[in-house]
Structure 1
Amino acid sequence: MALFAPYCGGRSREQDLLRVLAYWSGGEVRGVRSLMEASPHRFDLRWQPVRAPLESTACTLNIEAEPPLAYRFSVPAHQLMVWLMESGDRSDRLELPDRFWQWLLLEAGGEDL
């Protein structure tokens, strides 16, 4: 935790960081993306767990839609950790923050599979 804390809000976010660290090494979460005036899309986010916050972690995002969507991208581990911290208390069905989706669509330059 000591390595990630300075990049993830410090002591003020300690409980959120501990919650995410509990499943970080598993490298996977399932969640939903709520949409206005449409049914939510389920997704599966997988990443390569790394031990240092500045290391790049390779991620794959699969979205259950018609047609199904898949994206591959890399981000610094601390950034993914922050998005996971902002996504709520449930690692089995979380909702990533809007900031993540905006980044994915506008900045990621990820590879659409």
Structure 2
Amino acid sequence: MSGNPYPLGLRLAGRRVVVVGGGAVATRRVPALLDAGANVFLVAPELTPALQAHVDAGRLHWAPRRFAPDDLDGAWLVQVAVDDPVAAASVSAAAAERRVFCVRADDRAAAT
């Protein structure tokens, strides 16, 4: 698809937001989601210490594994923070199928 992005201010309080990836990009993005009151569900085999601290404090839910399409069930938004373009594309495809907006750290043009 083409066209300019439309800027939005999303109200995410109490809404399921999925973050795929547990590295530096996710570490930077998760605090703003938590500040917005999002119900953050993080999927990644491993986490940075900062993300682990959020899990330990009960601020987010973590699935210590790779992404599965049904992770997006009930989600309003997904943030893809992985450095594997094939994996990121599979998350984007699952999001498009479910009509869930997808933000991709690796490829802004491929995001919704």
TM surpasses 0.5: no
Between structures 1 and 2, the one with greater helix share: 2
TM-score (ref. length: structure 1)? 0.25
Between structures 1 and 2, the one with greater strand share: 1
Larger Rg: 1
TM-score (ref. length: structure 2)? 0.25
